[in-house]
Chains A and B, each alone.
Chain A
Amino acid sequence: MANVSTLNATGAAIDAVRTEIAAGPRGKKPKKVLSRRNIMIYGILGLAALYYLLPLYVMVVTSLKGMPEVRLGNIFSPPMEITFEPWVKAWAEACTGLNCDGLSRGFWNSVRILVPSVIVSIAVASVSGYALANWRFKGSELFFSVLIIGAFIPYQVMIYPLVIILREIGIYGSLTGLVIVHTIFGMPILTLLFRNYFAGLPEELFKAARIDGAGFWQIYGRIMLPMSLPIFVVAIIIQVTGIWNDFLFGVVFTRPDTYPMTVQLNNIVNSVQGVKEYNVNMAATLLTGAVPLIVYFVSGRLFVRGIAAGAVKG
């Protein structure tokens, strides 16, 4: 049990880092608004943004058209008559078999799956990454290598063995089972992400804390965690997106009353026979994508300079 007060030295270092965090991104102070440099930067970013936004534009205008207009096949033209009908239909009326309440049906189920899965998978992976980076022991890297190879296995190949494993443990079909599945498949990339990030942090910090007598969990909680906000953001982005959009595990490992929203999305956009309503498909996709998008936008605040070694050298 290391005494908390002994951490004061490192605590001071962290405080210094925190002030640096406020400094934000790197680079010269912006000078003239229309300098050549600025024109180039914004020019390139603007062009890239166009390439990224083009499909979004197509989706939005399609989602605002009625089906007769969509059939005309003029994908770039703005809607002649704006209708929000497809959006309403996607959210509240589209049928999945019997249940005609659109995406709204699975929304809360998705949230219930998302929150614990993201928290557990990131917690487990960040601690693993930290242990691998700073507290290696004999054999730890061997298991890690196996894990990395695991990142390359297509999920679908693992479904049947996983079903058998969960059945044997007795958690097949429960939310716990699903959270564990998400944690398992998030583990390779996330652990690598954290391990490599922690390994890149200045060694002095870790040493100073050790000298202060801090233990495994204290260093993790008081030094590593606050220093690595950007990488947590990346991890959150990866996991929120992956889990929110997951369809396969959501249906294989739960039951109809707890199906996530993506089951409805799939049912709306992926019907094999029958009429395809492209406008509703687009609206449904945009609606489903809204949650990760909000997370991206909000999490940007945390996307700051996480570390400044000046603080360590002090």
Chain B
Amino acid sequence: MRIRAFAAVLAATAALPCAAMAADLEVTHWWTSGGEAAAVKELATAFDATGNKWVDGAIAGSGSTARPIMISRITGGDPMGATQFNHGRQAEELVMSGLMRDLNDVAEKGKWKDIIKPASLLASCTYEGKIYCAPVNIHSWQWLWLSNAAFEKAGVPVPKDWNEFVAAGPKLREAGLQPLAVGGSAFQVNGLFDTLVIALGGTELYNKVYKDKDEETAAGPEMAKIFAAADDARKLAKGSNVQDWNQATNLVITGKAGGQIMGDWAQGEFQQAGQVAGKDYTCLPGLGLNQTLTTGGDAIYFPILKDEAKSKAQEVLAETIVDPKVQVAFNLKKGSVPIRSDVDLAAANDCMKKGIEIISKGSTATSTDQLVSADTQKQKEDLMSEFFANASITPKQAQERFASIIGSAD
């Protein structure tokens, strides 16, 4: 009995802080690499400063690893306080099933509609007029990273766009270098292809194919040009015997390969290797052609919780994420672009500044992750990885299959 009484006292004291509406909030995410972890720390510190407590639930490996775990937790009736998903449609069904809470009050109070740029970020958080997620950052895919040393060795000037790069390909081969570094995993070739679509074919073509899902355009002559370019890329990529994207980046860093098409997260690798943009490597947003970036990235979603204090804490977290100071601190560490353009990023490096400039000019497009379902994306990945590995598939055959995927896309 005494123990029980003691426990009751304990429970009573433990309940006290709850009166002040502060709570522990478990946040699951897959930001686990060095820079990412440092970025999360900024976010968590800011959240802790509000009197609540950030309980960290980091699980690496976005697609196949972290997501089933998060979904099990939410559907298993034991949800976390908040969880990361990519911008786009990954959490769509959780929202539809009524498992996630909306953030309308927070968004209205914080005037999210006015400050979050580009508007597509908020649009992909919106379902039936309600806002269900807080966007955190922006990543873009359309970057060509070039090794200055490799081009020096091949005796050609560093290309200023994709066409010059393709033209320099044979010279690089002659010098015993790998022209284009592409790793083996499917997301890399898929991202490369989508980059070619928007950089070479223009934003209009990109939107027609991925936003309107127009099968005719996908089978048409303009896309045929893209497939011809993909065929070029396939030839240039032949022989890059690596798997991971960062192994491919490493070929560029060490000057063994001329270039790589990869998202802006690649610059972390250059930085880590002590390389300087402009001197050791060159970055070409939009492959130096169409200066438009797609705005993918991450967002935080909030499951419905019964605990009132925790629900309150969720709102505080959502406010914290969008806070300008937090945005700067987080994105500088993460190497991504803030979701609002009214913040100052003087500390960013050259490549990042180029990206911020393009985005604040408003020449952005919605990322394919937001436009098509994960299922369609996977089918595209399967097709592209087959196309890039197997020279016997002609661009025409690949385009036919591509068109049928777009035709049945959702």
Contacts and interface: CB of A to CB of B under 8 A. Distances in A.
B58 to A, nearest CB: 3
Contacts of A96: 32, 37, 56, 58, 60
B73 to A, nearest CB: 7
Given A273-B265, A274-B265, A173 B36 contact: no
Nearest to A172: B76
A252 B68 CA distance: 8
Nearest to B266: A273
Contacts of B244: 276
Nearest to A68: B273
Contact of B77 (A98, A167, A248): A167
A16 interface: no
Interface stretch (A130-138, A156-164, A209-217): A156-164
Nearest to B62: A272
A270 B65 contact: yes
B33 A271 contact: yes
Contacts of B29: 97
Nearest to B38: A95
B60 A270 contact: yes
Given A256-B26, A272-B62, A97 B76 contact: no
B60 A266 contact: yes
A95 B73 contact: no
A275 B32 CA distance: 10
A251 B246 contact: no
Interface string A267-293: 111111111110000000000000000
B246 A275 contact: yes
Interface string A74-110: 0000000000000000000001111110000000000
A225 interface: no
Interface centre among A100, A173, A266, A276, by most B CB within 10 Å?
A: A276
A175 interface: no
A151 B72 CA distance: 22
Given A160-B72, A251-B59, A256-B26, A273 B36 contact: yes
A236 B379 CA distance: 42
Contacts of A277: 34
B36 A274 contact: yes
A233 interface: no
B31 interface: yes
A85 B273 CA distance: 18
Contact of B73 (A252, A257, A259): A252
A150 B58 CA distance: 32
Nearest to B336: A273
Contact of A159 (B32, B34, B72): B72
A71 interface: yes
A100 B32 CA distance: 11
A37 interface: no
Contacts of A271: 30, 32-33, 36, 60-61
B301 to A, nearest CB: 17
B44 interface: yes
B273 A252 contact: no
B26 A255 contact: yes
Contacts of B34: 95, 274-275, 277
B69 interface: yes
A231 interface: no
Contact of B69 (A99, A251, A267, A274): A251
A248 B60 CA distance: 12
A188 B69 CA distance: 24
Contacts of B404: none
A166 interface: yes
B269 interface: yes
A166 B76 contact: yes
Contact of B254 (A71, A167, A272): A71
Nearest to B37: A95
B54 interface: yes
B65 A266 contact: yes
A112 B160 CA distance: 58
Contacts of A269: 60
A180 to B, nearest CB: 14
A179 to B, nearest CB: 17
A164 B75 CA distance: 8
Contact of A263 (B38, B59, B250, B253): B59
Nearest to A276: B246
- Top 10 A-B pairs, shortest CB-CB distance: A274-B33, A97-B58, A271-B33, A98-B56, A95-B37, A267-B60, A256-B57, A270-B60, A163-B76, A267-B32
Given A269-B60, A272-B30, 18 more contacts: A95-B34, A95-B37, A96-B60, A97-B32, A97-B37, A98-B56, A159-B68, A160-B72, A160-B75, A248-B69, A251-B69, A266-B61, A267-B59, A271-B32, A274-B36, A274-B265, A275-B33, A275-B34
12 contacts: A71-B250, A71-B253, A97-B58, A98-B40, A98-B41, A98-B44, A98-B56, A159-B72, A256-B26, A270-B60, A270-B61, A274-B35
Interface of A: 71, 95-100, 156, 159-160, 163-164, 166-167, 172-173, 248, 251-252, 255-257, 259, 263, 266-277
